[in-house]
């Protein structure tokens, strides 16, 4: 049995298969995910698990080169935006429209669906390298 890191076997497997510039999306419970996209659904009930807890666990186990948020988070979920900018200040942050973000779902290795129920709580994580 694993002693540290992500215990969820599906998330651990995706992280182990990621290469430089591959993407992983952590999503709220409302993001539309195409049927053909690998989805790891962690949602148990509204709000559980929350977006920040899942992001924190993934960020501890993943080399993140860049994160992309929906431009709309700046006005529609300012508290989450400010928390992300504080907690992940060392990671360059890009922005795109929510519609563009949804178009990028098909290119992701996987989407981790949380129980988060606040607006625009979605992030595209671009894999970095550890050397």
Tokens of 67: 């994160």
Q: How far apart are CA 106 and CA 34, in angstroms?
A: 7
| Strands of 1-131, DSSP E | 23-27, 39-41, 64-70, 93-96, 110-113, 123-127
Which residues are bridge partners to 41 per DSSP? 113
CB 25 within 8 A of CB 108: yes
Whether 104 sits among the annotated catalytic residues: the reply is no
Active site residues: 20
């Amino acid at each position: 049995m694993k002693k540290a890191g992500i215990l969820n076997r599906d998330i651990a497997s995706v992280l182990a298969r990621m290469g430089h510039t591959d993407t992983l999306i952590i999503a709220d419970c409302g993001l539309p995910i195409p049927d053909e996209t690998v989805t790891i659904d962690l949602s148990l009930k509204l709000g559980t698990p929350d977006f920040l807890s899942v992001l924190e666990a993934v960020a501890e186990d993943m080399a993140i080169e860049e994160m992309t948020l929906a431009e709309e988070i700046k006005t529609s979920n300012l508290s989450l935006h400010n928390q992300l900018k504080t907690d992940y200040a060392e990671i360059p942050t890009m922005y795109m429209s929510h519609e563009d973000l949804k178009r990028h779902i098909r290119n992701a290795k996987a989407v981790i669906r949380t129980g988060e129920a606040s607006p625009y709580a979605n992030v595209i994580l671009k894999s970095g390298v550890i050397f």
